[in-house]
Amino acid sequence: MRIEILADVKTTLGEGPLWDVDEQRLYWIDSFDGRVFRCTADGREIRAWDVPQKIGSMALRRTGGAIVSLQRGFHALDFETGEVTLIHDPEPDRPANRLNDGKVDRQGRFVAGSMDTMEEGANGALYRLDPDLSVHRLDSGIICSNGPCWSPDGTTFYFNDTWSGEIWAYDYDTATGAVSNRRTFAAVETANGGAADGSTVDAEGCLWNALVYDGKLVRYRPDGTVDRVVEMPVKKVTSVMFGDPDLDVLYVTSMAKPPLPRFPGDGPLRGSLFAIHDLGVRGVPEMRFAG
C-alpha cells in the first residue's frame, strides 16, 4: 500500500470525492469555501468552480453539468457558464440547517441529507431528488447526514448520522427509491474522538468509511465486521471514493480547518487530497443523475 498527496489545495473542508468513468476525471468539493474542483487521475489539470453558498455534495448529470446540494437547497451548476440555479429548498423554515453529503443511486436518483450547522440538534433529514426534480423526505431526526452509498446491487442503502456512533443500513426499493427497515450495520469506534464521515462501497460489497478526527479509514465486511483499518497521515479525513481507469485507487479528502473549535488541528498535510494505491480492491462506477 502506498499513500500519496494527489493535490495540495488546502481545502478548508474537503469532501465528496467523485470519480466519473465517462470523463475519467476526479471531482471533489471544499464545503466551507463553496468550491468544486476537478483534476485528472494523477492530479493534473486542476480546475475549480465557485458556488454562492456552502456546498455539501454534488452529482454529475447525464445531460451535462451537475446537481449541487448547497446550504439552502438543491441547485443546478452549469460548468460552461458557472451559473447556479435553485431547484428546490426542502427546508426553508430551518435556517440553522444546511444540506450535506449526497450520492446517486443505481437508477439515477440523488439522495442527500441535511445537518444542524452546530452539529448539536437532531434537526436534519434525508431527502431524495428524483429525475423529474421532485423532492421526497426519506428519514428525519438527524444531526449530521453523512456517508450515503449503496451495495453493488443497489438493494441496501448505507447512511450515518455522524454523531450517532453507528452506520445504518436500510432496505432500498430500487423501483421507487423508498427506504425501510433501518438497522445498525456497524458500531463505530469513537474512543479516540473519531466519528463516521463519508463512505463508499467496493466491488466486493465492503463499505469503506472515513473516521474523521481519528485519521483512519475502516473497511467493513457486508456483515458489518471490521476487515481492515488504514492509518492516514492526517486526523481529519472526511470521505473516500475509488477511481482511476481501473477503479483501484482510493481517493481521500481532508480538511485544513475544523468546523468547530472543539475539534483538533492537523499538521502541514491538512486539507490535502490523497490517493491510496495497491489496496488490492476495486470500486464500482458511480452513476450520474438522470434528470
Q: What is the pLDDT along the chain (291 residues), one digit of tens a residue?
A: 999 999 999 999 999 999 999 999 999 999 999 999 999 999 999 999 999 999 999 999 999 999 999 999 999 999 999 999 999 999 999 999 999 999 999 999 999 999 999 988 999 999 999 999 999 999 999 999 999 999 999 999 999 999 899 999 999 999 999 999 999 999 999 999 999 999 999 999 999 999 999 999 999 999 999 999 999 999 999 999 999 999 999 999 999 987 777 777 788 999 999 999 999 999 999 999 999
Distance of alpha carbon 181 from alpha carbon 171, whole angstroms: 6
SS (HEC) of 146-182:
EEEEECCCCCEEEEEEHHHCEEEEEEECCCCCCEEEE
Q: Of these residues, 105, 197, 214, 244, which one is catalytic? A: 197
Rounded to the nearest 10 degrees, how much is the dihedral formed by the CA atoms of 172, 176, 180, 186? 20
| CB neighbours of residue 238 within 10 Å | 24
User: What is the per-residue pLDDT for 267?
Assistant: 87
pTM over 0.85: yes
Distance of alpha carbon 234 from alpha carbon 38, whole angstroms: 22
For residue 197, indicate whether it is catalytic. Answer: yes
Cell representation of residue 119: 452539529
User: What is the per-residue pLDDT for 134?
Assistant: 98
Report how far Cα 139 is from the mean position of its chain's Cα atoms. Answer: 18
Distance of alpha carbon 209 from alpha carbon 129, whole angstroms: 24
User: What is the per-residue pLDDT for 269?
Assistant: 94
Q: What is the DSSP string of 55-119?
A: EEEEEEBTTSSEEEEETTEEEEE-TTT--EEEEE-S-TT-TTEEEEEEEE-TTS-EEEEEEETTS
Domains of the chain: 2-277 (2.120.10.30)
DSSP one-letter code for 40: -
**Whose grid coordinates read 453558498?**
53
> Do strands 237-243 and 249-254 pair parallel, antiparallel, or not at all (unpaired)?
antiparallel
- Tell me the one-letter amino acid at 271: G
User: What is the per-residue pLDDT for 178?
Assistant: 98
Q: Is 15 one of the annotated binding-site residues? A: yes
Q: Is 146 one of the annotated binding-site residues? A: yes
Q: Is 182 one of the annotated binding-site residues? A: no
